[in-house]
Amino acid sequence: MKEFVLIFRLRDHADSKPSPEQVRERMNWLAGLAAQNKLADKGKSLSISNAKTITSDTIVTDGPYTEIKEFISGYMLVKTDTIEEAVELAKGNPILKVGGTVEVREVLAISYSS
C-alpha cells in the first residue's frame, strides 16, 4: 500500500467559498473514500487571504502567486496500491466540476541513512 497526496488547485477565488450544496457533495465524496478505508489523512483547506510567499532572497510577498492564475486550496492523503487507483479516486472530487484541478503525487519515504 502506497500513500498519495492529492493537491487541489482552484482558478477562481470565488470557488474557494463553496455553497452548502458543494460542501455536502465534497463531504459525501470524502466519506465515501473513508468508507473504502482509503483515506490516510483528510488533510486541510488552505487560506488564500492570509498567505505569504518567501523567495530565496528572503523577500516576502503577499498571497500565493498573484501572477499565477491557480492557487492551492487544500490537500489530503489517500492510500492505494497504485497511482492509477489514486487517480480514479481523485476523479470523483467535485472541485473538477468548477474548473479546479487535482494533482496526484506519490509520498516518498524519506531515507535518513544515506
Partner 1 sequence: MNDNVTSQQKLLPRLFREEYTKMTAVLYRHFGLKHIEIAEDIVSETFLKATETWSVQGIPKNPAAWLYVVAKNKAKDYLIRHTIFETRVKGAINLDELQFESDFDFTQQAIDDSQLAMIFAVCNPSNSIASQICLALQILCGFSVEAIASAFLTKTETIKKRLLRARKNLRQDNFQIKFLSEEAIQSRLDVVLKTLYLLFNEGYFSTSNDHLIRQDLCSEAIRLMLVLIESPSTNTPTVNALMALMCFQSSRLEARANNNGEIILYEQQDKDQWSQELIEKGNHYLIHAFSGAVHWQTKYHLEAAIAYWHTTPTNNDKWEHILQLYNQLILIEYSPITALNRTFAFAKVNGNKQAIKETEKLQLTHINHYHALLGYLYADTDLNKSIAHYSQAISLTKSASEKKTLQKEIERLNKTQY
102 touches partner 1 by CB under 8 A: no
Place of cell 518567501: 54
Stretch that binds partner 1, among 9-17, 22-30, 44-52, 97-105 (CB under 8 A): 22-30
Residue spans of beta strands (DSSP E) within 11-110: 39-45, 52-54, 60-62, 71-80, 101-106
31 touches partner 1 by CB under 8 A: yes
Place of cell 473504502: 36
111 CA to centre of own chain: 25
Our CB check for partner 1 shows the closer of 20 and 112 to be: 20
Stretch that binds partner 1, among 3-11, 32-40, 50-58, 106-114 (CB under 8 A): 32-40
| Residues 70/101, Cβ–Cβ less than 8 Å | yes
**Which residues sit at the interface with partner 1, rule CB under 8 A?**
24, 27-28, 30-32, 34-37, 39, 42
